[in-house]
């Protein structure tokens, strides 16, 4: 895993490790409903010679539901005109996100928080092309906006009850959609992908308005938790005419507390949509299982957790053989499995004494190894891929048992 791909994992590990000290720390005495911030930001964009950090600036608005949980909006602008890449990026960059910020550790001087913020990533001059007359494509640039899932965390240091210094770091997977290009020779299908970038921000914020005294916190009971799930996964499929598509899925989850704020946690999901065609690693429907660790806090009516869960994606109809006969070409398929690593966050709300409304968001990392394919009776090796990403949202309702 590269340095950039490890950013999200490092953030989740930091959040989980910080929880070991949460029970012995004393929080700030008060907070305000509104928080306004300014920040300096960097974003890592793709380059033929490797990643490059671009510098920019932005602003932030928080609406604090209580001292831990907030609805947070942030917008950042990177003015440098960056190198255009086909369908992916180019020109100046703007990002706007809106989601949840939750403090898992808070003292009188600092806090450690997690972020789950979907949004939009906009480039002013993405490279594109068009086939007109003849075989030579005409290249041009155009604006392009991608869906992005901002996942990460950071640290706040309280200079005073109203002034705060803040530093955060996030993984930024975003969807590059499929595209159909028309020309004199017909239409050409260009597959999209789930690209990934990282962000780092440092800034200052001010909390205006009336100071509100912290409410008394109580733990939420429950050792074992079970429930059904509904999921949607943005994933790049291997078939030549499939590309990036949204896979709806159903399944269930189980969670078991093993020590204070640490839980064994797992999902089992089935995605029945399937794919129009297959590749050697991927095809058909998907069965996904992830099982690992979640760490976080449950206070009053909500909980927030980071998750690190290895597992698998099992594909029902990956391409296994190609046979040329007089009647045409015959394709054979078989089941194929790949290792995955689910990194992200879980937000829980507790509307009833034993009920849990559970929302998951994550970047499920896909690791495709090498395989083989039989072509006219001869076994041919097929190399694996570098790390791929997928963006996954999951909604469920569970029941807690002592």
Give the CATH number, domain containing residue 359.
2.40.160.20
Which residues, other chains included, contact 218 with Cβ-Cβ below 8 Å and sequence gap of 6+?
A: 299, 300
Residue 27 has pLDDT above 70, yes or no: no
Domain boundary among 179, 197, 217: 217
User: Average per-residue pLDDT in the chain?
Assistant: 89
Classified as helix, coil or strand, 13 is helix
Instruction: Label residue 364 by pLDDT band (50, 70, 90).
Output: very high
User: 230 with 156, same domain?
Assistant: no
Residue 370 has a pLDDT of 93
**Given phi > 0 = left and psi -120 to 50 = alpha, else beta, which region is 4?**
alpha
pLDDT digits (tens, 9 = 90+) for 72-89: 999 999 999 988 888 889
Domain boundary among 202, 217, 232: 217
User: 362 with 271, same domain?
Assistant: yes
Residue 294 has pLDDT above 90, yes or no: yes
Residue 10 has a pLDDT of 58
E strand segments, 300-390:
302-325, 328-349, 355-367, 371-375, 378-382
Domain boundary among 155, 184, 217: 217
What is the distance between the alpha carbons of residues 104 and 297, in angstroms, rounded to a whole number? Answer: 6
Per the model's pLDDT, the better-predicted residue between 226 and 21 turns out to be: 226
User: 87 with 180, same domain?
Assistant: yes
**Total tally of structural domains belonging to the chain:** 2
pLDDT digits (tens, 9 = 90+) for 112-148: 999 999 999 999 999 888 776 666 778 889 999 999 9
19 backbone dihedrals φ, ψ, rounded to 5°: -65, -20
Residue 153 has pLDDT above 50, yes or no: yes
Residue 23 has a pLDDT of 44
Domain range enclosing 295: 218-402
pLDDT digits (tens, 9 = 90+) for 245-273: 999 999 999 999 998 889 999 999 999 99
User: 120 with 253, same domain?
Assistant: no
Residue 326 has a pLDDT of 76
| Segment of 169-183, 205-219, 358-372 carrying the highest mean pLDDT | 358-372
User: 166 with 240, same domain?
Assistant: no
Instruction: Label residue 290 by pLDDT band (50, 70, 90).
Output: very high
User: 279 with 382, same domain?
Assistant: yes
User: 224 with 209, same domain?
Assistant: no
User: 237 with 211, same domain?
Assistant: no
User: 74 with 174, same domain?
Assistant: yes
User: 298 with 393, same domain?
Assistant: yes
């Amino acid at each position: 895993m590269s340095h950039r791909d490890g950013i999200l994992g490092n953030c989740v590990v930091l959040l989980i490790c910080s929880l070991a000290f949460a029970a012995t720390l004393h929080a700030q005495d008060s907070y305000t409903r509104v928080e306004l911030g300014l920040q300096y930001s960097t974003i890592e964009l793709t380059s033929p010679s490797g990643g490059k950090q671009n510098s920019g600036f932005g602003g932030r608005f928080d609406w604090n539901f209580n001292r831990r949980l907030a609805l947070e909006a942030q917008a950042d602008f990177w003015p440098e005109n960056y190198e255009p890449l086909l369908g992916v990026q180019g020109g100046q960059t703007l990002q706007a996100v809106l989601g949840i910020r939750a403090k898992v550790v808070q003292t009188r001087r600092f806090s450690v928080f997690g972020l789950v913020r979907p949004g939009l990533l906009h480039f002013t001059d993405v490279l594109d092309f068009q086939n007109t007359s003849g075989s030579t494509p005409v290249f041009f640039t155009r604006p392009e906006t991608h869906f992005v899932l901002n996942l990460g965390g950071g640290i706040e240091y309280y200079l005073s009850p109203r002034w705060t210094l803040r530093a955060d770091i996030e993984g930024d997977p975003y969807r590059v959609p499929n595209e159909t290009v028309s020309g004199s020779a017909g239409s050409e299908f260009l597959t999209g992908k789930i690209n990934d970038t990282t962000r780092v921000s440092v800034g200052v914020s001010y909390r205006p308005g009336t100071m509100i005294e912290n409410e008394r916190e109580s733990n939420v009971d429950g050792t074992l938790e079970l429930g059904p799930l509904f999921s949607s996964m943005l994933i790049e499929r291997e078939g030549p005419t499939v590309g990036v598509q949204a896979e709806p899925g159903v399944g269930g989850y189980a969670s078991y507390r093993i020590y204070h704020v640490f839980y064994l946690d797992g999902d089992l999901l089935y995605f029945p949509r399937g794919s129009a065609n297959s590749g050697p690693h991927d095809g058909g429907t998907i069965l996904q299982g992830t099982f690992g660790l979640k760490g976080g806090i449950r206070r009053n009516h909500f909980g927030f957790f980071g998750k690190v869960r290895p597992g698998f994606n099992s594909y029902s109809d990956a391409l296994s053989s190609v046979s040329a006969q007089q009647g045409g070409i015959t394709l054979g398929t078989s089941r194929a499995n790949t290792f995955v690593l689910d990194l992200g966050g879980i937000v829980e709300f507790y509307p009833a004494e034993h009920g849990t409304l559970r929302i998951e968001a994550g970047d499920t990392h896909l690791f495709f190894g090498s395989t083989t394919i039989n072509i006219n009776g001869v076994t041919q090796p097929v190399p694996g891929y570098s790390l791929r990403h997928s963006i996954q949202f999951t909604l469920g309702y569970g029941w807690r048992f002592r």
